[in-house]
Structure 1
């Protein structure tokens, strides 16, 4: 019998993925305990953790949910994991994406396959199309501008979202996350050149060259509420590349708030 392990981060993605699997083992990085039962592990003891997975017949691993770079305790490393530190530290100098890729390599070197959300739950990733509402010409132009901005900033490993209104960038997602970015955009909505013009678009996309098996952008009902509170016209994202959680509820809230949801080609 082979089994799947889920590395659960914070947010609603991990429960949605677990519901798609038969009898998964669920773990979480210590310090990032989601609102569900999990078995915690420490990155400083990564190799013994991998031994544990293999000992429980795990062959596939899925990363689901938000995890930020943990603070590492040099005294907590076991001897075998300590040998990996130079590799990971060197990768971290190139950014979080590079560090994640190096950690994934360690899993794969131990014959553990990393599965992306696209493989486990493809229905969570909408294909091209407008799901609700209708983006106008100004909204389409703002979404195009936002896509250009993320394409340019993506290699800098800054974030996966931005807000554009009337061609002007009001906010870019950084370490504090989506909610903080949308709150900032809402506070500065008066900077739009024309108060009666386009209200603005929140756009989301993965970083160019990002490993799609981990950390795909995610939106859901709370994102809709935050975009509505910011006074935006809608949410657009790169089709086939962004996870939409609780689709029916997200659509209901968008319709109630008069926002469009658009998976853009």
Structure 2
């Protein structure tokens, strides 16, 4: 029997009186869903639109907002404090990194540049960890989307009308092991498994690129005649869970179907389902399953 997302309650962050949540908004629907979720629960958010990155500006500008270029990162804390922000969510895709040569000198910038330069050499997760710790040292508490809008997090169990069969579970285990392996190297968060073994791993092109590559691989001799298959997305081992959680949405479902896959598996509580009703409805219409897996580790990367 399919399990609805509402059957497993998620813990909501208890915001003290006077608290205000800010959202550093990159691309995609996640910043909008967090803002709308906060507003629905009585917390008016402040939106900091990242110039050239935030692509849902019409919806986000309904809330109090300001804009910031990546090269103005040194003024981030001052901007947040000016608007009374006590808690911050980093949400949405940032496609490029700031150009250090274009940054205008400031005291705030000079305080963070050494850490940022060091973190850039550690990969994306290293950079995010340094950024969150730097913000918290300056009095801004970084929180995860799943902490302020917990209904975005995937629940455990089968979430769709279709459910994995025995061969799908073999693919899920193989895909999960592969996703964790590349996650430990800070390469990606996803893998595709077909016929009980991983056949494609997520790289810099992201999940959609991975699924396009999988579709193209269907004609490969070693995959000839093999049907079904599963996309698995997992948090990286030791990942900073307050930022960059794995996510899926309607576009993921469409791409998985185009790649000939039978379904998608994500970690419950540590993955986000964007545009939840539309995502599950589309999966049901296409006959795909979506399943939330028990988290395989307790470390949260903090």
Determine whether 1:35 maps to 2:63: no
Which residue of the partner structure matches residue 4 of structure 1? 21
- 5 Å-filtered alignment, 1:129-168, equals 129-132=157-160, 133-168=162-197
Shift in Å, 1:43: 3.6
Shift in Å, 1:230: 0.7
Render the CA deviation track for 1:14-49: whole Å, top value 9, x for unaligned. Answer: 111001222211012222122223532134333323
- 5 Å-filtered alignment, 1:164-175, equals 164-175=193-204
Which residue of the partner structure matches residue 124 of structure 1? 152
Runs of at least 5 residues in structure 2 that lack an aligned partner in the other structure: 1-17, 295-302
Which residue of the partner structure matches residue 84 of structure 1? 112
Runs of at least 5 residues in structure 1 that lack an aligned partner in the other structure: none
Q: How many residues align?
A: 265
Aligned residue for 2:86, secondary structure, equals strand
Shift in Å, 1:75: 3.9
How many Å separate the matches in 2 of 1:128 and 1:223?
19
How many Å separate the matches in 2 of 1:150 and 1:59?
34
Structure 1, 225-234 or 86-95: larger mean CA deviation: 86-95
Q: 1:141 and 1:198, CA in 2 relative to 1: closer, same or farther beyond 3 A?
A: farther
With structure 1 as the length reference, what TM-score do the two structures score? 0.94
The Cα RMSD (Å) is: 1.7
With structure 2 as the length reference, what TM-score do the two structures score? 0.83
Shift in Å, 1:253: 1.1
2:84 to 57, 73, 77: 57
Which has more strand, going by share of residues? 1
Which residue of the partner structure matches residue 188 of structure 1? 217
Render the CA deviation track for 1:206-234: whole Å, top value 9, x for unaligned. Answer: 10100110000110111111100111111
How many Å separate the matches in 2 of 1:49 and 1:94?
22
Shift in Å, 1:149: 0.8
